[in-house]
Structure 1
Amino acid sequence: MHTVPKYEGWMGLDPSAGQGKMVWQAYEPKQWEETDVEIRITHCGICGTDIHTVLRSGWGPTLYPCCVGHEIVGHAVRVGSQVEKGIKVGDRVGVGAQSSSCLKPDCEECSSGLECYCADMTPTYNAQYKNRNTGEVIGKTYGGYGNYWRGPGHFVIPIPGVIPSAEAAPMLCGGITTFAPLVHNGAGPGKRVGIIGIGGLGHFGLLWAKALGCDKVIALSRTNAKMEDAKKMGADDFIAIDQDEGWNKRHARSLDVIICTVSSPNMPLQKYLQLLRIRGQFIQVGAPEDRMPGFNAFALIQKGAKIGGSTIGTPKEIEDMLKLAADKQVRPWIQERPLKEANQAVVDFEEGKPRYRYTLVNEVNVNAKL
């Protein structure tokens, strides 16, 4: 007989939570279903979405109380009889930013392996689980700033043994957010790729572009402050848009794919589009709380170029990403922070201090016996 663990975590009770005022308390997980997996959490990355949610309700109302964190790694302690992925109790597994979708045979997205675009896409926190047959709400989604997680096994990913848990965690959202659009848009040998913004997302973009074998990888940032870091991550060249005069003309028509991880309404989008080659693609992954800046349509028309967007990635794409990371020994730049110091870590994250991702370490669960 499985003993149901006590679910506790850092809970945001109101918008002050993002200012370092989360409260450690118990909460009730979703109803158990035989399609679920229960995970004892050892590591959880901090993502910008966490701040958008608990501090500003930037993308919609926050369902307080809310436990954020969607870069979860730990060990399976309970596996439902209908979980089809071969996961066993004791396996090291992870969960990213999506924890459910309708998974119905007649759903165009789910049936074609595009679960992250399903109309019933359920985020790993700040949402509600529903019974797939009746539509009845069976619990809220709670994230990884805690000791356990429970949810549908379809979205639980095995972690390759060679990847340390603290490094695997931020790959499950930050990593896949840049990996998926690079792969979708042909990044690889023969392609020239630009990554705008050298932060948590952008640093992953550089690592993946290099690992995928792109001919040239260009990093774009406001100043030269991160130039040396970017080159160590795989950048062949660096553009400081606030310091390098005439950069848009000097590098015009030089890139096949641009992945933009920033979302400022003041970013020089028109100049970025000048960098695209014929039929080049500008892919936005930074999720704004504000509007995108305007641009002249001839920037697209005269080159047959495109502007697109990309969300996280599917379970299959996450597995592919982790395989690439294992095969090519991709090592994200992370800093480990104790889970007990989550409030200070969130404040530091909002102030831009990570180089380049924080991973919270649940020291109690790391040292617990399986």
Structure 2
Amino acid sequence: MNTDYTFQGWLGKDAKSVEGNMVWEEFQPKPFTETDVDIKITHCGVCGTDIHTLRSGWSPSDYPCCVGHEIVGTAIRVGRAVSNIKVGDRVGVGAQCSSCLKSDCEECSAGLEHHCPRFVATYNAHHTDRSRTYGGYADYWRGPGAFVVKIPDGLTSAEAAPLLCAGITVFSPLKNNGAGPGKRIGIIGVGGLGHLGILFSKALRCDRVVAISRTGIKKHDAQAMGADRYIATDEEKDWAKSHSRTLDLIVSTVSSPKMPLGSYLKLLRTNGQFIQVGAPEDVLPSFSAFSLIAKGTKIGGSQIGSPKDIAYMLDFAAKEDVRPWVQERSLKEANQAIVDMEEGRARYRYVLVNEANAKL
């Protein structure tokens, strides 16, 4: 079996790497085992998590780190214990690369691997053997085959990449909280996650999809994605009052703690639900308990999905023609892509293309 390849990628060495200072270097992946898969990377989405991690926003990062967890490529080495993937398959891996997978684990045994207490992130973490996990801003990726999924033929690799994290992050709370015919859905934030929330809500045949953003600058795009209504909270006077009790489910994708949470809750109908998926680096704002009590409102959170959930979502996207709005960037431009992403220039997801591997 040909293994004469080296692992190289863009490494963040410290918190200033987020300013466009990642360096291209060789790194040592985990030792290969018969449960692993090696992927020759062709595409990798740029996620907000990459930025939070590079600058140690949520917690101190374990440098050097290679970020990127919307990875698509070709399986080039497959361990004998892997049954779901074969050499030559077009495959992907998202934000999680491992869990304990033990039969006595309440989460793993229930198909909730993404909530396993021994969740292993695709980068900035450690495998059970204590080796580092490295992400997809690289030539190759290695990790457990149980968390690698096949990419359906109906999606291009550039389209599939953002779905592996951003896509499942919004699809899970929509599907798990009743989004579908008869439901009115609000999506807060029209960005990498939010635009996919709009696309999936329409594909799920929701009665009404409302895009919610601070300004009206993205209104035209949101409507093109399928939004039936648009609320610009900084520009529309008394928006919380005029749209009160109009939504069954709100999915909040924003990662800023400066959100009018109490006003958002006013938009919910009786027994409505507010699900937070964006992860601010600071605490969420306070709100009145009566926002929950008066209407039986529920607040919750959602974190990606299991490998089975991701496979289902990919097939759904291919079948329902859900196409992320992507802008392809060369892997060589990873530093600039990070800077541009941080400055809000993406419309609506950057995907890094490893041109050398994509040609093969």
Give the TM-score category using the shorter length.
over 0.9
Read off the aligned partner of 1:203 and give its amino acid letter. Answer: H
Q: Distance in 2 between matches of 1:266 and 1:92?
A: 40
Would you say the 8 A contact 2:97–2:122 is kept in 1?
yes
Is 2:318 the partner of 1:326? yes
Would you say the 8 A contact 1:177–1:313 is kept in 2?
yes
Aligned residue number for residue 93 of structure 2: 95
Shift of 1:266: 2.3
Would you say the 8 A contact 2:95–2:122 is kept in 1?
yes
Q: Distance in 2 between matches of 1:247 and 1:14?
A: 42
Q: Please give the per-residue CA displacement for 1:272-319, whole angstroms capped at 9, x wherever unaligned.
A: 001111110000001010010000111110111100001111111111
1:97-246 equivalent positions in 2, closer than 5 A:
97-130=95-128, 136-137=129-130, 139-246=131-238
Is 2:260 the partner of 1:268? yes
Q: Distance in 1 between matches of 2:220 and 2:40?
A: 38
Helix, strand or coil at the partner of 2:190: coil
Would you say the 8 A contact 2:257–2:281 is kept in 1?
no
Shift of 1:88: 1.0
Helix, strand or coil at the partner of 2:336: helix
Q: Distance in 1 between matches of 2:54 and 2:288?
A: 36
Q: Distance in 1 between matches of 2:150 and 2:125?
A: 24
Is 2:67 the partner of 1:68? yes
Query: TM-score under structure 2 normalisation?
Result: 0.99
Read off the aligned partner of 2:66 and give its amino acid letter. Answer: C
Would you say the 8 A contact 1:263–1:292 is kept in 2?
no
Aligned residue number for residue 314 of structure 1: 306
Q: Distance in 2 between matches of 1:107 and 1:193?
A: 34
Read off the aligned partner of 1:140 and give its amino acid letter. Answer: R
Shift of 1:14: 1.1
Would you say the 8 A contact 2:327–2:349 is kept in 1?
yes
Shift of 1:4: 4.1
Is 2:74 the partner of 1:80? no
Q: Distance in 2 between matches of 1:32 and 1:166?
A: 27
Would you say the 8 A contact 2:139–2:354 is kept in 1?
yes
Q: Distance in 1 between matches of 2:338 and 2:202?
A: 30
Query: TM-score under structure 1 normalisation?
Result: 0.96
| Structure 2 unmatched runs, 5+ | none
Would you say the 8 A contact 1:101–1:122 is kept in 2?
yes
Read off the aligned partner of 2:25 and give its amino acid letter. Answer: Q
Would you say the 8 A contact 1:196–1:262 is kept in 2?
yes
Which of 319, 324, 327 is the matching residue for 1:335? 327
Q: Please give the per-residue CA displacement for 1:183-228, whole angstroms capped at 9, x wherever unaligned.
A: 0100001110000010111001000000000000000000111001
Q: Distance in 2 between matches of 1:162 and 1:274?
A: 40
Q: Distance in 1 between matches of 2:34 and 2:2?
A: 13
Aligned residue number for residue 59 of structure 1: 58
Read off the aligned partner of 1:62 and give its amino acid letter. Answer: S
Helix, strand or coil at the partner of 1:140: coil
Would you say the 8 A contact 1:218–1:236 is kept in 2?
yes
Q: Distance in 1 between matches of 2:10 and 2:247?
A: 43
The number of residue pairs the alignment matches comes to: 360
Shift of 1:265: 2.5
Aligned residue number for residue 250 of structure 2: 258
Q: Please give the per-residue CA displacement for 1:338-359, whole angstroms capped at 9, x wherever unaligned.
A: 0011111111111110000000
Shift of 1:264: 2.5
Aligned residue number for residue 7 of structure 1: 7
Shift of 1:320: 1.2
Helix, strand or coil at the partner of 2:258: coil
Would you say the 8 A contact 2:75–2:90 is kept in 1?
yes
Shift of 1:263: 3.1
Would you say the 8 A contact 2:154–2:319 is kept in 1?
no
Aligned residue number for residue 36 of structure 1: 36
Shift of 1:116: 0.5
Read off the aligned partner of 1:222 and give its amino acid letter. Answer: R
Helix, strand or coil at the partner of 1:205: helix
Helix, strand or coil at the partner of 1:172: helix
Read off the aligned partner of 2:14 and give its amino acid letter. Answer: D
Aligned residue number for residue 278 of structure 1: 270
Q: Distance in 2 between matches of 1:43 and 1:221?
A: 29
Read off the aligned partner of 1:6 and give its amino acid letter. Answer: T
Which of 266, 280, 287 is the matching residue for 1:288? 280
Read off the aligned partner of 2:132 and give its amino acid letter. Answer: K
Q: Distance in 2 between matches of 1:2 and 1:263?
A: 43
